[in-house]
C-alpha cells in the first residue's frame, strides 16, 4: 500500500516539475524574450533569409542602429532604427537620407520624387515614433512606405542572430 502512495506522489512530483518548466519557458520566451525565423531579403546581407532571431521585449531604450521587429497592417517586419522620436528626417534630391541635418545613409535610399517629397513633407516633422529603414533598401517596405513606427508597434530589439546553413 505504501508503494502505491509513493508511486502516486512521484508522478505528482514529476507533473509539478513539468508544469513549472513549461511555465518558466513560457515566461522567458513568451513575455521577456522572443524567437523568430526571419523570412525575406529586406535586411540582407546583415540578416539572411532563414536566420533565427532572438529578441528582447524588456529593453525599450531604443537607439539609432538597433534592429527591431515591428508590426504594421497585421504583418511583421524587421528594420533598423535610423531616427528616434523628435529627430528630423529629410531626403535630399539625390536620394540620401539626413537625420538632424547629418547624412545617415551611405547610399541613395529614396528612388523618386514622390518618395522624397513624402519623407520631407510628412514624416520628417513628427515628434513621435521611430523612423526605420531596411538594409536592402531596393526591395523592402519600411518608414519610407509606412511613415514613423510607434513604440507600441515594436515587438522588441534583436539581440542575437543564429545563421542557418547555406547550400
Query: For the whole prediction, is pTM greater than 0.85?
Result: no
- 3 state DSSP class of 81: strand
Highest mean pLDDT among 1-15, 31-45, 63-77, 136-150: 63-77
Sheet holding 89-91, edge to edge: 89-91, 97-99, 102-103
Burial readout 37-72 (b: 16 or more C-beta within 10 A, e: otherwise)? ebebbbbbeebeeebebebebeeeebeeebbbbbeb
| Fold type of domain 38-162 | Umud Fragment, subunit A (2.10.109)
Between 4-8, 60-64, 65-69, 83-87, the lowest mean confidence (pLDDT) is in 4-8
pLDDT of residue 62: 93
Amino acid at each position: 500500500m505504501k508503494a502505491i502512495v509513493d508511486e502516486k506522489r512521484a508522478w505528482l512530483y514529476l507533473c509539478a516539475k513539468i508544469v513549472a518548466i513549461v511555465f518558466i519557458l513560457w515566461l522567458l520566451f513568451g513575455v521577456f524574450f522572443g524567437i523568430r525565423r526571419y523570412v525575406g531579403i529586406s535586411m540582407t546581407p546583415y540578416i539572411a533569409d532563414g536566420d533565427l532571431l532572438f529578441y528582447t521585449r524588456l529593453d525599450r531604450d531604443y537607439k539609432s542602429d538597433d534592429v527591431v521587429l515591428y508590426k504594421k497592417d497585421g504583418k511583421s517586419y524587421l528594420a533598423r532604427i535610423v531616427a528616434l522620436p523628435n529627430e528630423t528626417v529629410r531626403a535630399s534630391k539625390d536620394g540620401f537620407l539626413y537625420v538632424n541635418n547629418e547624412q545617415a545613409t551611405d547610399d541613395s535610399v529614396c528612388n523618386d520624387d514622390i518618395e522624397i517629397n513624402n519623407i520631407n513633407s510628412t514624416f520628417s516633422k513628427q515628434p513621435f515614433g521611430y523612423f526605420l529603414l531596411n538594409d536592402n533598401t531596393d526591395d523592402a517596405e519600411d518608414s519610407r512606405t509606412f511613415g514613423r513606427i510607434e513604440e507600441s508597434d515594436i515587438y522588441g530589439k534583436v539581440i542575437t542572430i543564429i545563421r542557418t546553413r547555406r547550400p
